[in-house]
Amino acid sequence: MKVPAETVPESPAPSATRAKTRVLMVLLGLLAVWPLVHHALVLRWDLSPWHYCGFAMYCLPRPRLRIDFEGGGRPLDATIKKRIHPWVAAYADKRQAMGELAEPDTVARAILATAPELASFEIVVTTFYFDVPSASFLKKVRRYPYTR
Amino acid sequence: MVSTSAAWPERLFRFVDGGEADADSRVGIVRTFMMLHLAVRFWVVLGQGSESWEYGFALAMTAAAVASFVPPVSRAGVAVAAALMLGMVVRHMPTTANHEFLELFLVSLLAFCDLRIAAERALFIRTARWLAILVLFWSGTQKVIFGSYFHGEFLSFSVAASDAFRDTLGRLLPDAEVARLRSIDPFGSPSGPFRVGAPLFLVASNGAYLGEIGLSLALVFPRTRVRAAVGMMVLVVLIEIAAREVFFGGLSMLLLMMFVAPRLSRRVLPLVLVVYAAALFSHFGLLPDWTYKP
């Protein structure tokens, strides 16, 4: 299984190889320290250990999410919830990967478009995250208020 | 051979050199593996919700893989594959999986290095070896930093949440412990504890990161390199029996093949390809369904 015999360039252009060597050394150098930066981002913003090349897959369970909506102190109407479901599902995926760096603005826009009578509402994101010291899932609630 | 005149970063970079005599075969095997891997992977990610562009990508990747075996257009085939992989990575943002980044890095490296030139074949092997060492080293080290393996925390959760883990690692736990773990409601508050005391389970849990860190460091040194690569291949197989990430396991095998003699890679390659074929046929209903993660 050898590399197909193509025409080998007459001059191997060692300067090009040297330049490529430097590029790859820089890339590997960045990759060597990136997991430490990634770890800091996981701790600070709940970034997913499973994503973004931190190579921390299988370190923590993916957090479970619950996304609720409250308008005027009451849960949002079921019909509206059904209509905004595609935006909520997309946001849930994004939130699992990006943690608190992902704000639910797209969901809010969908609610505003679907329920023109709603003046203000809150999107409540409950994250069930894995706490290593207690080896248990704990709950963290973050509320995002929106007004028209 | 490490040049003494080079600056220390380059000397370090070249520290993993070796086996240049059969570099042609090593690179050939890896290129064959990588292109088949991508061709299969682009098909198995397709499902009911897939859009027409995704089918187009899969077709184009298959064409690129075929082209990579045709000498006059092989470099163009690899370059197109790299471009398609970049498209896939961008399209899946922000939920792009780590193995997609790894695939992008590897196929781009194949396209970036002119493999007709001996110095660039060596550069490819050197870079791929460091990539393997870094990925494996950090996979183990992150488990230590997160601290979720010392008392079997993560694997206890996995036994609770996954049938595949229950049927494999769960055998190292008493039945009552498995039943307790599986009865925990992950949406309870608090929900746990996912921690066990079974000695064999703890050996497996702590052995996972010790194996990854120890073997990745052993890959650096010429004297221990081949044994470490074979040991790591065994560890990857054991992990994938539970995790069933067939294609991530395949990628790991591909990286480890950079460290072993081509004659060993030629024995491993058909086994991996049989698993890939089974995954592909199973995906299209030509074989019974079996659980794996694409």
pLDDT given at position A133: 94
pLDDT given at position A99: 94
Task: Please give the ipTM for the structure prediction.
Answer: 0.88
pLDDT given at position B155: 95
B27 neighbourhood in chain A, CB within 8 Å? 3
Task: List, as one string, the DSSP characters of B7-55.
Answer: -HHHHHHGGG---GGGHHHHHHHHHHHHHHHHHHHHHHT--TT--HHHH
CB distance from A20 to chain B under 8 Å? Answer: yes
Task: List, as one string, the DSSP characters of B110-124.
Answer: HHHS-TTSHHHHHHH
pLDDT given at position B108: 97
**Burial of A42 (C-beta count, 10 Å sphere; 0-12/13-18/19+):** buried
Name the closest residue on chain A to residue B133, using Cα atoms. A32
pLDDT given at position B284: 82
Name the closest residue on chain A to residue B159, using Cα atoms. A61
Hey, which residues does B97 pair with through a beta bridge? A51
- CB contacts < 8 Å between A and B, how many? 168
Q: What is the mean pLDDT of chain B?
A: 89
**Which of B178, B170, B163, B229 is CA-nearest to residue B205?**
B170
**Dihedral angle, C-alpha B108, B23, B265, B104, nearest 10 °:** -10
Determine what percent of chain A is predicted with pLDDT higher than 90.
69
Q: Dump pLDDT digits (tens) for A16-66.
A: 899 999 999 999 999 999 999 999 999 999 999 999 999 999 999 988 899
- pTM comes to 0.89
**Structure tokens belonging to residue B72:** 């006059």
CB distance from B72 to chain A under 8 Å? Answer: yes
CB distance from B9 to chain A under 8 Å? Answer: yes
Sequence-ordered list of residues with C-beta below 8 angstroms from that of B55, at least 6 positions apart, any chain: B46
Indicate the range of B135-139, B186-190, B222-226, B279-283 predicted with least confidence.
B186-190
Question: What part of B 132-171 touches A (C-beta under 8 Å)?
Answer: 134-135, 138-139, 141-143, 145-148, 151, 153-154, 156-158, 161
B97 neighbourhood in chain A, CB within 8 Å? 50-51
Name the more confident of B28 and A9: B28
CB contact under 8 A, A20 and B123: yes
pLDDT given at position B256: 93
CB distance from B224 to chain A under 8 Å? Answer: no
- Please give the backbone phi and psi of residue B108, each rounded to the nearest 5 degrees, phi first: -65, -40
- φ/ψ region of A73 (left if φ > 0, alpha if ψ in -120 to 50, else beta) reads left
B176–chain A nearest CA distance, Å: 18
**Structure tokens belonging to residue B25:** 């075969």
- φ/ψ region of A52 (left if φ > 0, alpha if ψ in -120 to 50, else beta) reads left
Dist. CA B111–CA B120, nearest whole Å: 11
Angle between helices B246-256 and B118-146 (to 10 degrees): 130
CB B64 within 8 A of CB B86: no
Angle between helices B199-218 and B118-146 (to 10 degrees): 150
pLDDT given at position A10: 47
Confidence of residue B290 (pLDDT cuts 50, 70, 90): low
Q: Dump pLDDT digits (tens) for B64-85.
A: 999 999 988 999 999 999 999 9
CB contact under 8 A, B74 and A6: yes
pLDDT given at position B293: 63
Q: Dump pLDDT digits (tens) for B135-164.
A: 999 999 999 999 999 999 999 999 998 888
Name the more confident of B262 and A11: B262
CB contact under 8 A, A20 and B112: yes
What integer is the mean pLDDT of A111-137?
Answer: 91
Does the pLDDT at position B119 exceed 60? yes
Q: Which of B25, B123, B157 lies nearest to residue A2, judging by beta carbons? A: B25
Highest mean pLDDT among B52-56, B135-139, B268-272: B135-139
Measured CA to CA in angstroms, residue B124 lies from A52, B114, B119, B242 at distances of 23, 9, 9, 32
CB distance from A128 to chain B under 8 Å? Answer: yes
A39 neighbourhood in chain B, CB within 8 Å? 142, 145
pLDDT given at position A8: 54
CB distance from A104 to chain B under 8 Å? Answer: no
Q: Which of A61, A93, A136 lies nearest to residue B190, judging by beta carbons? A: A136
Q: What is the mean pLDDT of chain A?
A: 88
CB contact under 8 A, A39 and B145: yes
CB distance from B49 to chain A under 8 Å? Answer: no
**Structure tokens belonging to residue A88:** 């909520």
Confidence of residue B277 (pLDDT cuts 50, 70, 90): confident
